[in-house]
Amino acid sequence: MRLTVNTVEHELVSPPLTSLLNALRDELDITGPKVGCQDGSCGTCSVIVDGEPRRSCLLPLAMVDGAEVTTIEGLGAPRSLHDVQAAFHAYYGSQCGFCTPGMVIATVALLERNPNPSREQIQNALRGHMCRCTGYVKIIDAVEAVARGESFEELEVTRSRGEEATAKGVPA
C-alpha cells in the first residue's frame, strides 16, 4: 500500500484490512489521530483523505491506497501553528486535548469548503465529535474567529522543559 501522509510518500507493509488509524499510529508513528471508540462515533481519529474529513478507524488501508492523508501533524508546527490550531489555543478550545486533533481536522475541512460558515454550519460540521471538557462553546467561538479572519500572528506559544505552556497576548 502506498500513501502520502503529510506530504511524505510511504510504502506500508500493514495488511490491507488494517485500519488507517492503526497503520498511522503503529507503522508510521503518527499519533495525532487518537484511538477512541473504534467505531466512528467519537471523531478523535479524524484525518483528511484526498480533501475530505474521514474517520481513520473505519478506513481499511485497501480503500485509501494511493491517497493523500493529512493529520494534525501536517497542519502546523509548535512554533508555526495553523490558524485553526492557534484559534483553538487562543480561545481555550482545547482542555484535555484528546478530541482536539479531530476537531481541528473537521474545522480545517469545513473552512476549506466554506470559508464563512454560519454558527449552525459549524455545529453541523462538528456533529459527532465528542468533547467532554469544553462544552463546545469555546471550540465554536474559535472556529468563528478563524472564519472572521481574526489574526493569530501575535500569538506566540512557548513551552520550556517542565513548565506549563504560555501564550503571549492571551489572558491567563
Domain boundaries along the sequence of the chain: 2-74, 83-168
Does CATH place domain 2-74 in 3.10.20.30?
yes
CA pair distance 152, 143, nearest whole angstrom: 13
Interatomic CA distance for residues 146 and 15, integer angstroms: 39
Is there a shared CATH topology between the 2-74 domain and the 83-168 domain?
no
pLDDT in tens for each of the 172 residues of the chain?
999 999 999 999 999 999 999 999 999 999 999 999 999 999 999 999 999 999 999 999 999 999 999 999 999 888 889 999 999 999 988 888 899 999 999 999 999 999 999 999 999 999 989 988 877 899 999 999 999 999 887 665 554 444 444 444 443 3
Per-residue confidence (pLDDT) for residue 46, from 0 to 100: 97
pLDDT value, residue 133: 84
Q: Which of 64, 80, 49 lies closest to 19, judged by CA?
A: 64
pLDDT at position 22, please? 97
Superfamily for domain range 83-168: [2Fe-2S]-binding domain (1.10.150.120)
CA distance from start to end of the chain: 46
Grid cell listed for 133: 471538557
* pLDDT of 155: 62
Per-residue model confidence (pLDDT) at position 169: 42
Tell me the one-letter amino acid at 95: Q
pLDDT at 163: 47
**Could you tell me how far CA 55 lies from the centroid of its own chain?**
11
Residue with cell 490550531: 85
Q: Which of 114, 132, 134, 130 is nearest to 122 (CA)?
A: 114
Q: Which run of H or E residues covers position 20? A: helix 20-22
CA–CA dist 37, 56 (Å, integer): 11
- Report the chain's C-alpha Rg in angstroms: 16
Strands 52-55 and 166-168: unpaired
pLDDT of 154 = 67
Cβ distance 92 to 63 under 8 Å? no
**Calpha distance 23→47 (Å, rounded):** 13
